[in-house]
Amino acid sequence: MSLFSLGLIVSAVAGIFVGRLLGERGPRLVMTVGSIVAVLGFGLVALAPDPLVFGAGWVIVGFAQSSVLYQAAFTVITRRYGERRQGPLTILTLAGGLASTIFAPIVAGLLAATDWRTPRSI
């Protein structure tokens, strides 16, 4: 199992707790804290000197993912809109799919021209 996959497993398990927390407290605090935790986790992943720290970073990112990605957004929309949730859920799903449709070719084109390892001359 890869360390990234470990982060996804943590996200799935933490999603149960986060869903309950979103229902009790609402999205503002939970998603804000999740965003801050994500920054810290990705910083740890980026600066990891060894695989153990790298894995710890992905575990932290997994907790953050459970509070800011689709599963959290679907929970919030379902709680907030109740029986009228179909429209907002459709918009969220279409927006996510559209973002992938637009940005995937852009990223592929940029990577064809250069990649993150290419040194930049300033």
Per domain, the residue ranges of the chain are: 3-84, 85-117
**Cα 106 to Cα 30: distance, rounded to the nearest angstrom:** 32
Instruction: Output the six-digit token pair for 20.
Output: 């309950």
pTM: predicted TM-score of the whole model, two decimal places: 0.75
Mean pLDDT computed over 71-79:
88
What is the pLDDT at residue 122? Answer: 53
| Average pLDDT rounded to a whole number, residues 93-119 | 82
Torsion on CA atoms 58, 61, 62, 64, rounded to nearest 10: 170
Q: What is the mean pLDDT of residues 35-39?
A: 96
What value does the mean pLDDT of the chain take?
89
Quick check: 26 pLDDT over 60?
yes
pLDDT confidence bin for 120, thresholds 50/70/90: low
pLDDT, residue 119, reads: 65
Mean pLDDT on 78-85:
90
Q: Which of 105, 101, 104, 77 is nearest to 91 (CA)?
A: 77
Using the predicted structure, report yes or no on whether residue 41 has a pLDDT greater than 90: yes
